[in-house]
Amino acid sequence: MIPTWAQIGYLIAAVCFIVALKGLSSPKSARSGNLLGAAGAVLAVIITFVAYKPDHLAAILVALAIGTIGGVLGSRRVQMTHMPQLVALFNGVGGGAAALVALMELGEIPQDATVPAIATAFTILVGAISFSGSIVTFAKLQELMTTRPVTFPGLPVLFIASILGSLVLAGFLISDPRVWVGILLCLVGLAVGVMLVLPVGGADVPIVISLLNAFTGLTVAAGGYVLGNTLLLIAGTLVGAAGALLTKMMADAMGRSVFNILFGAVRGGSTLGGGVASERPVISGGAEDVAILLGYANKVIIVPGYGLAVAQAQHTLRELVEELQGRGVKVDYAIHPVAGRMPGHMNVLLAEAQVPYDQLREMEEINSDFKSTDVVLVVGANDVVNPAARNTPSAPIYGMPILNADEAQRVIFLKRSMRPGFAGIENELLYDARTTLLFGDAKDSLTKLLAALKNI
């Protein structure tokens, strides 16, 4: 029986989680929300140690210390460009941990306890799917394997057979909770997770990470029911609900359904293009030419993308914008919902450079402004301004709402090369007569632009 004081402490921790989630809805309160959520987690851990007085305390403390050190070092050293991979790893560890806890609890379930057995089977299966799927998403984003969809003959049949097999094993486990059945269910779940993510192209992997995050939340909630821990139930439900909503919002931003994102390649489509750069001629210029276009414009819109994060050029970009504003140029940042590799990637990146939040304008708000814009400066983005999303039904991004950069008077792309974007398809806007390309590393190009602008 959990002591009353511990239940009150868990309630306080749960309130911390709820308020923290609300805080994360705004950049202004995100930092304090994060700290509040972390404080709630620390409080919950301390209460658990004091209230339950666990056995094998020394081993638990050693494991906790190793995990803490690993988490701190990993989080501090990871670059912003690799943050989605870190999220995928953390998410997979959560799902795997929930599955292992459920396996260990199998021996404690009475034969006639149907509901706990259902919750245990669910936790084992979905936790295993989340773990293996998250590992594959990490490998794709880290480019340890191809980012293209991976399919093979018979994949749909094998996938459906695995799903049916997992349901049969779950039924056996519910009727007779045996450890060996749970282990088999876990192994099948691992296979399902791999086959679920393999056919997903690189451009859609962040959405799958969000979906798997929802899976992990649901497994934690189910694990909370199995363990009789209300706090786990609340925390898991929050994560599951938030992950599901985020997945739906990201899919809507891509203009596609979650089913199409997961199984488009299996049905004969593709979630990634060919990835071959064209040899057609383009108009390129130097830093001085681009600086003149920017310096004598009345209105400029900046479109940031993943290349900005890779080059760590956000601070230089802010300096360039401040120089333009000092000359009387109106400048805004256009933020696409799926720019970068995770939701809010550009918001976080620019906030790190102390860019005022009121300069960051979401796609729905700013799209009508492009027609009256003199120059659009695209820094490391590609797919989010690719007109193929509107004009080419065969393109993997067709139907995705994009920023209307092609409606501006002039467009400037800062690019390393003519290599296609993450979706692997060409951008016809690069070959438009109104488009000028400035080749090179984004940070180096922006530094040259800033110097040239100051000399005008």
Instruction: Judge if 217 and 244 occupy the same domain.
Output: yes
Identify the domain boundary among 51, 77, 103: 77
Q: Determine, yes or no, domain membership for 378.
A: yes
Query: Is there a contact between 308 and 377 (Cβ–Cβ < 8 Å)?
Result: no
**pTM of the predicted protein model:** 0.78
Mean pLDDT of the chain: 87
Which residue would you say has higher pLDDT here, 141 or 132?
132
Are both 85 and 73 inside the same structural domain?
no
Answer whether residue 282 is part of any domain: no
- The C-alpha atoms of residue 123 and residue 312 are separated, in whole angstroms, by 40
Instruction: Please report the pLDDT score of residue 122 as a whole number.
Output: 95
Instruction: Establish if 279 belongs to a structural domain.
Output: no
Domain of 42, in residue numbers: 1-77
Torsion angles phi and psi, residue 171, rounded to 5:
-65, -45
- Residue 278 domain-assigned? no
Q: 337 or 134: which carries more pLDDT confidence? A: 134
Q: Is residue 280 one of the residues assigned to a domain?
A: no
Q: Span 136-153, mean pLDDT?
A: 85
Q: Both 198 and 338 in a single domain?
A: no
Distances (CA, A) of 114 to 118, 181, 188, 343: 6, 16, 22, 39
Instruction: Indicate the pLDDT class of residue 276, thresholds 50, 70 and 90.
Output: low
pLDDT over threshold 70, residue 267: no
pLDDT at 124 over 90: yes
Q: CB neighbours (10 Å) of residue 278?
A: 13
**107 lies in the same domain as 30:** no
Q: Report whether 114 contacts 121 (CB < 8 A).
A: no
Distance of CA 456 to the CA centre of its chain: 41
Number of domains in the chain: 3
Contact (Cβ atoms closer than 8 angstroms) between residue 438 and residue 329: no
Q: Final residue of a domain: which of 77, 93, 122?
A: 77
| 126 and 218 assigned to the same domain | yes
Same domain, 73 and 99: no
Q: Which residues are designated catalytic?
A: 383
Average pLDDT rounded to a whole number, residues 392-399:
79
Q: Examine the domain organization and report whether 255 and 296 are in the same domain.
A: no
What confidence category does residue 278 fall into, taking pLDDT thresholds of 50, 70 and 90? low
Residue 270's pLDDT is 47
Instruction: State whether 294 and 360 are in the same domain.
Output: yes
- Domain end call among 77, 112, 133: 77
- pLDDT tens, 351-361? 888 898 888 99
pLDDT at 272 over 60: no
DSSP state, 414?
E
Question: Which segment, 267-271, 321-325, 338-342, is predicted with the most confidence on average?
Answer: 321-325
Whether residue 125 is contained in a domain is answered as yes
**427-451: per-residue pLDDT in tens?**
889 999 999 999 999 999 999 999 9
Of the pLDDT bands very low, low, confident and very high (cuts 50, 70, 90), residue 422 is low
Q: Judge if 150 and 253 occupy the same domain.
A: yes
The CATH number linked to 357 is 3.40.50.1220
Do residue 45 and residue 114 come from a single domain?
A: no
Residue 92 in domain? yes
Residue 191 has pLDDT above 90, yes or no: yes
pLDDT digit string (tens) for 217-250? 999 999 888 888 888 999 999 999 999 998 888 8
Task: Annotate 301-317 with b (16+ C-beta within 10 A) or e (fewer).
Answer: bbbbbbbbbbbbbbebb
- Using CA atoms, how far residue 259 sits from 8, 83, 214, in Å, is 42, 25, 15
| Residue of 273, 131, 277 whose CA lies nearest to 191 | 131
Category of 162 on φ-ψ map: left (φ > 0), alpha (ψ -120 to 50) or beta:
alpha
Verify that 360 and 241 share a domain, yes or no: no
Is 320 part of a structural domain of the chain?
yes
pLDDT in tens, 52-93: 888 888 898 999 899 889 888 888 888 767 778 888 898 999
Same-domain check for residues 71 and 133: no
CA–CA distance, 137 with 144 (Å, rounded to integer) = 10
